[in-house]
């Protein structure tokens, strides 16, 4: 099934997209940067670097340490971090709704549609050599 993926480019070196949003959501869900990274099949270091990028974009902390106790501490999203994810997911949902018909049409015109057969002519080496010599 075709779907729309949104990446918001804020400038040449700054972007926010589905991977960063998912990382924040998994941190919120698991309470752990390490567990969120593992769930995304990435290293802790990569997750930490992405969090630094997100905080540089947001210009405020998006995560905070939760001190120990019965739950044993961990990491939580700040209200600003939650607002960033919510805003991104709203943009994503609105864009998907407004483009659903065209995405469906586009998917129907591509190989993602099982009813559309894609045929390619096989070029033999002899034809390639002959074309190059011409």
Give the pLDDT mean for 13-35. 96
Residue 116 has pLDDT above 90, yes or no: no
Q: Smallest Cα–Cα separation from 26: which of 37, 15, 16?
A: 37
Both structure tokens of 128: 């390639």
For the segment 89-101, the average pLDDT, to the nearest whole number, is 95
Task: Tell me what the pLDDT averaged over the chain comes to.
Answer: 85
Q: What is the DSSP letter of 133?
A: H
pTM: 0.78
pLDDT digit string, tens, across residues 42-84: 999 999 999 999 999 999 999 999 877 666 779 999 999 999 9
**Full DSSP string of 45-88:** HHHHHHHHHHHHHHSS-SEEEE--STT--EEEE-HHHHHHHHHH
List the one residue out of 2, 43, 8 whose CA is nearest residue 23.
Answer: 43
In the chain, the domains with their CATH numbers are 8-115 (1.10.10.10)
């Amino acid at each position: 099934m075709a779907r729309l993926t949104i990446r918001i480019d804020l400038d040449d070196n700054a972007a926010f997209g589905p991977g960063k949003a998912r990382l924040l959501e998994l941190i919120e869900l698991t309470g752990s940067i390490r567990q969120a990274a593992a769930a995304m099949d990435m290293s802790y270091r990569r997750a930490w670097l992405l969090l630094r990028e997100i905080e540089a974009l947001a210009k405020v902390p998006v995560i905070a340490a939760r001190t120990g106790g019965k739950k044993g501490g961990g990491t939580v999203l700040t209200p600003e971090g939650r607002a960033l994810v919510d805003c991104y997911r709203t943009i994503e949902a609105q864009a998907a709704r407004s483009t659903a018909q065209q995405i469906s049409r586009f998917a129907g015109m591509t190989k993602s549609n099982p009813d559309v057969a894609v045929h390619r002519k096989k070029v033999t080496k002899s034809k390639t050599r002959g074309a190059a010599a011409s």
